[in-house]
Amino acid sequence: MSQEQLAADATWQRGFDVADSAARTAFLATYTAPLGPKRGDVIRQIDTGIYYVVIGEGIATPITGLLSDPVNLATQVTGTLADGNLSSNVPLKNQNSVITGVYEFNNNFKQYGRTAKSLEWTSVPFNAGNFTASAGSWTVDSGDVLVQEIAYDGLTMWMAFTIVSTDVSTTPSDLRIAIPNGEVADFRMDAFGFCSDAGATPIGLTITTAAGGTVLSLGKLGSAAWTATSGDNTAVVGVVAFSIEP
């Protein structure tokens, strides 16, 4: 369908009675062309931003669904396209969308305003203050942390850690790793790993988060206290997934 350049934008109301000469005159008066808009002209309703195509003298119809050929909006239409003119297949940023097809991502995505990409493992910067104990202290040096990686999956955080050659000052019930990035556990979750307490034969390790907690609590399987050691010989290894608050 051909389109002709309009002399001016229109300010008018939909559904006027074309038999009403006053309304029709008001409609045509917004154009400088002697006979008003021509059949095939595209006009815009100012207050809504919706585009229409003129199909007869003094009669316009919404452009949505009317054109059978694709319209290159970059060259044929300027301004903002109203949401109502989009196909229902176009997801909108401010509305919930139900996807029935398959989305294929050739790159990753982010969730909840995070800078970290989802489902990608990232290293946690070393900070000795992130390693504490329920009593006394747990001394972890930077070289003791062989692995501390996290990944996000929605409101689930994964953490993998391998921490060796550490010291424990007294006999705490649990050693603690701070949950990175200021995240807070949403509810209790439990997992298992392995540990060597003061160089002893490796045994099971319990890994626990508490509702509203900010640490992973690491305990020896069987609830025995950790052994005090300065021999750089306590190690913990584990992988855990836990829920975090929004």
Q: DSSP 3-state assignment of 85?
A: helix
**What pLDDT, on a 0 to 100 scale, did the predictor assign at position 56?**
60
- Does any domain span residue 109? no
* Within a domain: 49: yes
Q: What is the pTM of this model?
A: 0.63
Give 66-100 pLDDT, tens digit per residue: 443 445 555 555 556 677 767 777 888 888 888 78
97-131 pLDDT per residue, tens: 887 888 777 777 788 888 888 889 999 999 999 99
Those residues whose C-beta lies under 8 Å from the C-beta of residue 142, and which sit 6 or more positions away, are 126, 128
Residue 173 has pLDDT above 80, yes or no: yes
Q: What is the CATH number of the domain that holds 210?
A: 2.60.40.2460
Structural domain including 218 reads: 122-243
Residue 206 reports pLDDT greater than 90 = yes
3-state secondary structure of 74: helix
Residue 97 lies in a domain: no
Counting the structural domains of the chain, the total is 2
Range of lowest pLDDT (23-27, 184-188, 235-239): 23-27
Whether the per-residue pLDDT at 238 is higher than 50: the answer is yes
pLDDT grade for 200, boundaries at 50, 70 and 90: very high
pLDDT in tens, 180-191: 999 999 999 999
Of 60, 85, 110, the residue that ends a domain is 85
Based on the fold, state whether residues 206 and 148 are members of the same structural domain: yes
Strand partners, 149: 123, 160
- Percent share of the chain, pLDDT over 70: 67
For residue 32, is pLDDT > 50? no
Residues 6+ apart with CB under 8 A from 101: none
